[in-house]
């Protein structure tokens, strides 16, 4: 399988995507966001913005994409506003609530340019400005009691290989598969949150260090591969335990379809 390097947004390291991958990969979740007054996507003058940005309606027949960073350019094909919010504010799908009915269904083609090459954190700030200026995003933050999954060690212990300290940290992702290379358990939990599962996954394994692992499951109703719950337990020696807990949520108060170029 061919892989490509995607945004260094969440892990600060390489996240590699399979060609079939259609969603942005997990980034460290913004846990600990304090309750705050309503904000307009933090559009203060101090927040950097793209020099130029083109936004057009996406092709409804295509899969939804995600922003790709290449030097000073950010390109996204048929990306949803919800995905933009997730990446701009460094949160997962279960942490975005409210908004219009097209938030996670209508896609947009975006091409934006900066005066200089961007890092992942710089791109996030510029996406926040883009959301405020072109989508008129207004949101606030809340802590809500929500269903979550705790990632814990299963009976019998973990089935993980300690990583070579000299190895580069990465996740390699394809449809129904993720391979960790020198990956901490927090990376696995963050990937599972909203990508493979519809709830936030909290790392409660107590396992420090970094590991090499491969997890394969069926993302649909096919019986050819195990479910994500069975795969996590049988292949990794871990368990996803349903719980409830406090989750920091971004609540979308206002969002408009983007203004014309």
**Residue written as tokens 């506003």?**
81
Q: What is the pLDDT of residue 70?
A: 82
Which pLDDT score, from 0 to 100, does residue 78 have? Answer: 94
Does the structure show a pLDDT above 60 at 2?
no
In this predicted structure, the answer to whether residue 57 has a pLDDT above a threshold of 50 is yes
Q: Residue 150: which pLDDT band, with cuts at 50, 70 and 90? A: very high
Q: How far apart are CA 22 and CA 38, in angstroms?
A: 31
156-173 pLDDT, tens digit per residue, is: 999 999 999 988 899 888
Residue 215 scores a pLDDT above 80: yes
**Average pLDDT of the segment spanning 141-149:** 96
Q: How confident is the model at residue 147 (pLDDT cuts 50, 70, 90)?
A: very high
Asked if the model's pLDDT at residue 237 lies above 50, the reply is: yes
Whether 225 and 231 have beta carbons less than 8 Å apart is answered as yes
Indicate whether 68 pLDDT > 60: yes
pLDDT at 175: 82
pTM of the model: 0.75
Residue pLDDT, tens place only, 98-122: 999 999 999 999 999 999 888 888 8
Closest C-alpha to 85, from 67, 69, 68, 101: 67
Supply the pLDDT for residue 96: 96
pLDDT band at 236 (very low <50, low <70, confident <90, very high): very high
SS3 for the chain is CCEEECCCCCCCCEEEEECCCCCCCCCCCCCCCCCEEEECCCCCCCCCCCCEEEEEECCCCCCCCCCEEECCEEEEEEEEHHHHHHHHCCCCHHHEEECCCCCCCCEEEEEEECCCCCCHHHHHHHHHHHHHHHCCCEEEEEEEEEEEEEEEECCCCCCCEECCCCCCCEEEEECCEEEEEEECHHHHHHHHECCCECCEEEECCCCCCCEEEEEECCCCCCCCCCCHHHHHHHHHCEEEEEEEEEEEEEEEEECCCCCCC
| pLDDT of 39 over the 80 cut | no
Average model confidence (pLDDT) for the chain? 82
Residue 140, pLDDT > 80, answer yes
The predicted model gives 32-42 an average pLDDT of: 36
More confident of the two residues 151 and 259: 151
Residue 66's pLDDT band, with cuts at 50, 70 and 90, is: confident
Looking at the predicted structure, is the pLDDT value of residue 22 above 50? Answer: no
More confident residue, 64 or 259: 64
Q: Is the pLDDT of residue 1 over 50?
A: no
């Amino acid at each position: 399988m061919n892989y490509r390097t995607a945004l260094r947004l969440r892990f600060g390291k390489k996240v590699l995507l399979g060609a079939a991958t259609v969603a942005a990969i997990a980034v460290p979740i913004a846990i600990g966001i304090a309750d705050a007054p309503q904000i307009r996507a933090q559009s203060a003058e101090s927040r950097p913005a793209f020099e130029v940005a083109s936004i057009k309606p996406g092709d409804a027949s295509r899969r939804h994409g995600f922003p790709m960073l290449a030097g000073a350019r950010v390109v996204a094909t048929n990306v949803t506003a919800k995905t933009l919010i997730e990446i701009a504010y460094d949160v997962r799908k279960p942490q975005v609530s409210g908004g219009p009915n097209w938030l996670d269904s209508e896609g947009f083609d975006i091409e934006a340019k900066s005066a200089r090459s961007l890092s992942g954190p710089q791109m996030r700030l510029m996406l926040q400005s883009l959301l405020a200026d072109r989508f008129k995003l207004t949101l606030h933050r809340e802590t809500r009691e929500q269903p979550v999954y705790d990632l814990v060690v299963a009976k019998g212990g973990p089935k993980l290989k300690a990583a070579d300290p000299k190895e580069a940290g990465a996740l390699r992702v394809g449809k129904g598969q993720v391979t960790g290379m020198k990956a901490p358990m927090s990376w696995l939990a963050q990937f599972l949150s909203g990508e493979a599962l519809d709830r936030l996954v909290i790392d409660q394994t107590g396992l420090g260090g970094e590991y090499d692992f491969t997890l394969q499951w069926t993302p649909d109703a096919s019986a050819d591969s195990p479910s994500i719950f069975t795969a996590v337990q049988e292949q990794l020696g871990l368990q996803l335990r349903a719980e409830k807990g406090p989750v920091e949520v971004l609540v979308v108060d206002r969002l408009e379809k983007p203004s014309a170029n």
